[in-house]
Chain A
Amino acid sequence: MTTSTQTPAAPTTAVRRRRRGSAGRFQGGNPVVYAVAFVVVCATLGPVVYGVLGGFRSNAQLAESPASLPDPWVVSNYTGVVTNPDFWQYTLNSVVVAVVTTALVVVFGVMAAYPLARYAFKGREVLFMVFVAGLLFPATVAVVPLFILLTQNFGLGNTWWGVALPQAAFALPMTVVILRPFLQALPKELEEAAQLDGTSRIGFFWRILLPLSGPGMVTVGVLAFVGSWNAYLLPLLLLQGDMKTLPLGVADFSSEHSSDTAGVFAFTTLAMIPALVFFLAMQKRIVNGLQGAVKG
């Protein structure tokens, strides 16, 4: 098929003179395009904005006229959530689980990717295929036996580690697949220079490779963090009471206070805002990572 044969040929003929849209792309001042863009924005953000604004209304306002702006603006829903100790406990749990997951994924992932990228040894490709095969094991398949193993065999039932360790394990294959080409791309002259200076391979790993692979590690770290922060199924089975993470808290609050729509909106909004800010700041990294996955 023509698709795949054209792809590699194209970059070689294109001698990197990208005139940023000066004359190139079909220009867009087209009103139709703006109209479509407007519709897309409304459809995308509408529900989120409605939730945020809904938190500033009273239930009476919401019942009377679901589609209007807050009048007057009510802050008691939000203050109610902020003064709710459960909310902060859930946030703490989410932060700890996500940080532990991310640390495990980044440290073990870059360690595994290093020999796979820069050592020559028999069985290297086979070893790499082990990680690639790991991509085919969906976490959902393992969740019920994991619940049994973690609670009965490992004694990690209602703990941060019980969630973080399996999450990290399931994120590792993708991490290795993304990181390996990253580490391979670092010029081999660096390694040779380090050897001339008498640096061992482990020294090279610590002092040169790790600092240089920072961007790649940030990418896989952000992906791991996003995954952990949003995770629901494994925490749902494993965590109770004070150990619950924010998604569990949101779901609980919404079913326990189902008549308090404004309160649910406020709780949900506050639960998503820190994550949203962080993820949007890291948007480029997330996209890079997903693209890396696509290419890997």
Chain B
Amino acid sequence: MADDAAVPTATASPAPSSGPAAGTTPQGRPAAGRPAGGRRAADSTLRKRLEIAFFVTPALAMLAVFVVWPILTAVQMSAYRWNGRGPMEDFVGIGNYVSVLTDDVFLDSLLNNLFIVAASIAIQLPLGLAIALLLNRKMWGQGALRTIIFVPYVLAEVVAGVIWFQLLQPQYGLLDTLISAVGLEPPAQGWLGDVDLALWTVMGILTWKFIGLAVILFLAGLQGVPEELYEAAQLDGASWWQVQRKITIPLLGPTIRTWAFLSMIGSLQLFDMVWILTKGGPANATSTMAIFLVNEGTRSNNFGIAGAASVVLFVIALVMAVLYQRLFLSRDAKGVA
């Protein structure tokens, strides 16, 4: 896709080099006659380089200082036992990594993250698809519906978490009251206090919060499916379900795969909602890697451990992203280009 669009730019740009600093490019060179992959270096005058540097430097500097430097700092921290004050002196090599990877709390957190990655996709994909397919038809109030389903997504996780925390208060919260009213027994320790239920409860709230993103993206993808396909299928006597299964869902493939990628990366970083609802408890049942590294870092001043956990999280996210890219997304890129 990017290369596609790059061609006109490449052929258009020889002309501007007739500016003051131009010397290498003959002015009368026909703009369209040059092969796109040709000797671009010849065009790079000093002035042009300065312009490029002027435009790109602020963004690159920001990335270097606030993204790359902290991550390198995490790597550095991970090699020391360090309480966050004074110089890092107590070098422990891979000691912190051994501690992290043998720490039950971290391993529980990692498993919780992986559970949330898998459950998010397993729950939200069919549900989001079902809602999107149902809403993708001419019906009264469709615009309002699309807006409404988007509301939880635009709320801050903190706001959503605080509201749900109140709704789920044991006994006198709304949910437990309703459950008792119909004669059922709500969980004795509350939805978020029960070791077996807490993670599922968090998962339910996450579904509520993020299903809107799936639906909105799927609906937008459905808009791209040409009307003619539906008409043709209808003429051929296909049922609604057959049309969805054979035409709509396959055409939605790229959208679904990219959504799943976003969902995966988000799930690996989960922090806000859990911090508000449970702080990772009870007994680390809802802890995530992000909760772990914040607890170790800023709460317990084990910055070496926090650094090692950050690096481990980074590697896991990177490996999953690259694997996913290789397995699914690259196919789409080829298809689109």
Name A residues whose Cβ lies closer than 8 Å to a Cβ of B: 1-8, 10-11, 13-14, 18-19, 21, 23-29, 33-34, 36-37, 40-41, 43-45, 47-48, 50-51, 54, 62-63, 65-67, 104, 107-109, 111-112, 114-122, 124-125, 127-128, 130-131, 134, 136-149, 165-166, 168-170, 172-173, 176, 180-181, 184-185, 188, 191-192, 195, 200-202, 205, 226, 229-230, 232-233, 236-237, 246-248, 250-251, 254, 261, 264-265, 268, 271-272, 275-276, 279-280, 283, 286-287, 290-291, 293-295
Interface centre among B41, B156, B225, by most chain A C-beta atoms within 10 angstroms, is: B156
Bound-state Cα–Cα, A225 to B220, Å: 22
Contacts of A119 in B (CB 8 A): 9, 13, 48, 51-52
Are the C-beta atoms of B250 and A6 separated by less than 8 Å?
yes
Contact of B336 among A8, A127, A165 (CB under 8 A): A8
Distance between Cα atoms of A97 and B149 in the complex (Å): 28
Q: What does DSSP make chain B's interface, helix, strand, loop or mixed?
A: helix
The complex places the Cα of A4 from the Cα of B257 at a distance, in Å, of 11
Rounded to whole angstroms, the CA-CA distance of A277 and B251 in the bound complex is 33
User: A-side binding surface: helix, strand, loop or mixed?
Assistant: helix
- C-beta contact mask, B38-66 vs A, less than 8 Å → 1, else 0? 00110110001101101110111011011
Which residues of the other chain, A, contact B41 by a CB distance below 8 angstroms? 122
Q: Which residues of A contact B213 (CB under 8 A)?
A: 290
Q: How far does the alpha carbon of A202 sit from the alpha carbon of B54 in the complex, in Å?
A: 10
How many whole Å from A261's CB to the nearest CB in chain B? 6
Per the bound structure, the CA–CA distance linking A45 and B211 in Å amounts to 13
Chain B residue total in the interface (Cβ 8 A): 130
12 A-B contact pairs sorted by A residue (CB < 8 Å): A4-B332, A7-B336, A25-B136, A34-B140, A36-B131, A50-B163, A66-B173, A124-B6, A125-B6, A140-B268, A146-B66, A250-B158
Asked whether any CB of chain A lies closer than 8 Å to the CB of B195, the reply is no
Closest CB of chain A to B223's CB: distance in Å? 10
Nearest 10 interchain pairs by C-beta:
A4-B335, A169-B66, A14-B226, A28-B137, A112-B59, A230-B156, A3-B253, A145-B73, A144-B297, A142-B70
Pairwise interchain contact A121-B271, C-beta atoms closer than 8 A: no
Residues of B within 8 A of A173 (CB): 63
A233 touches B290 (CB 8 A): yes
A144–B314 Cα distance when bound, in Å, is 13
A149 touches B6 (CB 8 A): no
Q: Is B272 an interface residue (CB 8 A)?
A: yes
CB within 8 Å of A: which of B277-301?
289-290, 293-294, 297-298
A21 to B231, CA, bound (A): 10
- Could you list 20 further interchain pairs (A-B, Cβ under 8 angstroms) beyond the known A19-B227, A138-B265, A149-B70? A1-B331, A10-B229, A11-B226, A25-B230, A28-B139, A40-B145, A44-B149, A45-B148, A48-B163, A111-B56, A115-B52, A117-B9, A140-B271, A144-B293, A201-B51, A232-B271, A248-B158, A268-B162, A271-B156, A294-B258
